[in-house]
Amino acid sequence: MTGNYAVFPLTSLPSAGRIIAKRGSHIALNSGTFTLVGTPPIQTPVIEKPVSSWSPMLLSEFDYDLPEELIAQEPLPERDMSRLMVVDRSSQKIEHHIFREFPQFLREDDVLVLNDTRVMPARLLGLKETGGRVEALLLERREPGVWEAMVKPGRRVPVGTKLLFGSELSAEVVDRTESGGRILRFFSPTMDGKTDRTDWADPGSVDEIIARIGQVPLPPYIRKALQDPERYQTVYATSEGSTAAPTAGLHFTPRLLEAIRARGVRIVFVTLHVGIATFRPVRAANIEQHQMHTERYQIPDETAEVINSATGRIVCVGTTTARALESAAVEKHRVRATVDETNLYIRPGYEFRIVDVLVTNFHMPRSTLLIMVSAFAGVELIKKAYEEAIRRRYRFLSFGDAMMLC
C-alpha cells in the first residue's frame, strides 16, 4: 500500500496485472473484468501494463519482403542437392550446408517422423454446359461419387450448374459450403453431350476417371508447368488424400533414407492430408483471431509405440507432421494412436510436447506456417534466419531449400 492508494494483483487476466485504486474502494472482479462499487464515486482505476511474455501478437510481426525471384519455380535436378540451413535454437548459431549432409546432424537414438500423404490428381479442367471454362479442385470425398471442391470462377457456378470434364465425366453443383466451396455430384454424360442427372456415375468409376484425367495441383505461386508430376510427391508418399504436398519431405531420396537408417535412426510415418487452405493467408490483424482450417490425420500404432519408447530426440519433417504429432500429444514425448481431425493452431506461446527438431522449408510471409516455426524457434531467431536466407539467395517455398531447427 502506497500513500492513499492500494495495489491489488489482477490474476484473472491472461497475464498478471495490477489495479491501482483509492483506499476504501471495493473492487469486484468478474471473468477478467472489474467494476468499482461503493460511495463516494472515485476516479476509474489505472491498470498498469503487466510485465509478461504473453501479449496479443500482430500479423505484421510475421511479414517480410520476399523477392519474387527467390520463389523456386521448379525442383532441382537432384532432390537432396537443395541447401540446408541449420539453426541452433540454444546458441542462435546459423550454418549452411546441402541437404545431402542431413544425416550427419542426426544421432543414433533419434526418431525421424515423416508424413506419407500423397497428393491427389485433384485438379479438373472442364466447361460449364453453357460453354464457359471452369476449374474444379477436389478437396475431400464426402461420400462415394460426391466431393467437396473449390470451383473457379466461383461466382459464376451456382447450385444447379452442370459441369463437363471431357467426354467421360460430368458433375452437378448440388450445394455450397460455408467456406465458399461447392459440393459436386458426379454423373455420366449422355451420347449427345448433354447431362442426365438420373444417370449417376458408379462411384468406383468416378475415382478411376479422376485419377486418369485429373492433374496434380500446384501452389498458385508456381507458374511454370511441372514436367514430372512425381517431383511434387515425396519418395515415400503412399496415402492419397492431399491437395498440396508436405514439401519439407521433397528433399529426401531413397539413398538418403538408407543412410539415415544406417546411423541407427528409426524412421516412422504419420499421415496428415494437406488441404488447400494451407495457402490461404492470415487476414486478421491480431493472429489470435485467425480461424484455423481442419485437416484429417492418422498416427499409426507402430508410430506411437516408437515415439513413446524413444530415448532420443523426435525429429519432425515438416509443419504438417508437427501438427499431427502435437494434435495427438498426451504428455511430453507421448502420443496416442488415432485417426482424427485437427484444427490445432500453433503460435508463439505454444508449448511443444513432442517435437524436438523441426525440418521445414522457407514459408510465405503472413502465413500460419511461418507463425508455427516462429513458435518453435522464437520470432526474433526466425527473422534473423530469414534475413540470412534472403541475403544468401536461398530458394523459397515448395520447391525451395530447407532449414533444420534444432
The predicted pLDDT at position 156 comes to 86
* Number of residues assigned to the chain: 406
Q: For residue 2, what pLDDT is reported? A: 41
Give the percent of the chain with pLDDT over 70: 81
- pLDDT in the model for residue 390: 98
pTM for the model: 0.81
Residue 13, domain extent: 5-48
Of 186, 213, 240, the one marking the end of a domain is 213
Q: Could you give phi then psi for residue 50, rounded to 5 degrees?
A: -70, 150
Backbone φ/ψ region at 12: left (φ over 0), alpha (ψ -120 to 50), beta? alpha
Which stretches within 263-340 are classed as H helix? 301-308, 319-327
Q: What is the mean pLDDT of the chain?
A: 85
DSSP 8-state class, residue 144 = T
Residue 342 lies in a domain: yes
325 bridge partner residues: none
Q: What is the mean pLDDT of residues 375-381?
A: 98
pLDDT-based confidence at residue 200 (cuts at 50, 70, 90) = low
Domain shared by 255 and 341, yes or no: yes
pLDDT at 278: 67
Residues 190 and 196 sit within 8 Å (Cβ to Cβ): yes
As a whole-number percent, the residues of the chain with pLDDT over 90 amount to 70
Amino acid at the residue 282: V
CATH number assigned to the domain comprising residue 157: 2.40.10.240
Residues 6+ apart with CB under 8 A from 297: 270, 271, 272, 273, 323, 324, 327, 328, 339, 340, 341, 342
If asked whether residues 252 and 395 sit together in one domain, one would say yes
- Cα 87 from Cα 147, distance rounded (Å): 42
Q: What is the pLDDT of residue 277?
A: 66
Segment 184-194, tens digit of pLDDT: 999 865 434 45
CA–CA gap between residue 243 and residue 217 (Å, rounded): 7
Are 336 and 324 in contact by the 8 Å Cβ rule? The answer is no
How do 266-272 and 111-115 pair as beta strands?
Answer: parallel
As for how many domains the chain has, the answer is 3
Predicted confidence at residue 25, as pLDDT, reads 41
Lowest model confidence (mean pLDDT) among 205-214, 296-305, 317-326, 336-345: 205-214
Asked whether residue 218 is assigned to any structural domain, the reply reads no
Is 93 inside a domain boundary?
Answer: yes
Q: Which three cell numbers stand for residue 204?
A: 468406383
